Amino acid sequence: MRLKILTAAMLLAGVAYAKEPKRYESGTLLQMDSVECGLDENSGKSLAGEVLGTDSAHKKTHALLCQEYLLQSDHVIYRIRPKGEKHPALLPVGERAQFHMDKDKMVLRVEDLDDKERDYIVVSMTPRDNGKTDSASAAAPNR
């Protein structure tokens, strides 16, 4: 009898503490831009220059480009970048995507691509202007 009560209590506790399923929002990938996100430096020093101590070093630098996407949801337009990937996947512009926020990152998946979840950094958020005018400001006369 005690075993049945203990088993029932453990089952009930497991159900009570179960995580809620992830709730995804939906949006459309509007565009992709290449933006500067850092510099890559390459030192021109040779092994002989290092050993002999000659100071003929010169650095070659070039700008690194990152993909930046516009993701439009029902109420917000997000500007996002891939988080820490050396070779991020190209997302299909114009397609629907599902996403949710997880702490300080956006987790995004595109069903038509490969339905794989990827982490993105939110660079900016802009509220959407749906063309609705505020009824209070429309009703107030201009003085």
Tell me what pLDDT residue 135 has: 46
Q: Give the CA angle between residues 34, 38, 40 to the nearest 5°.
A: 110
> Has residue 63 got a pLDDT over 50?
yes
DSSP string, 103-130: TTEEEEE-TTTT---EEEEEEEEEE---
| C-alpha triplet 22, 83, 88: angle, nearest 5° | 100
In a domain, 136, yes or no: no
Q: Is residue 30 part of a domain?
A: yes
Estimate to the nearest angstrom the gap between the alpha carbon of 72 and the chain centroid.
13
pTM for the full model?
0.65
Tens-place pLDDT, residues 24-43: 899 999 999 998 887 777 76
Q: Domain residues for 124?
A: 22-41+68-128
Task: Give the pLDDT score at 65.
Answer: 86
Q: Does residue 60 belong to any structural domain of this protein?
A: no
Q: What is the pLDDT of residues 130-141, one digit of tens each?
A: 765 444 444 455
Whether the per-residue pLDDT at 113 is higher than 60: the answer is yes
In a domain, 107, yes or no: yes
Beta bridge partners of 67: 34
Q: Does 48 fall in a domain?
A: no
Model confidence at 60, pLDDT cuts 50, 70, 90, reads confident
Q: How many domains does the chain have?
A: 1
Q: Judge whether 52 lies within some domain.
A: no
Residue 104 in any domain: the answer is yes
In a domain, 79, yes or no: yes
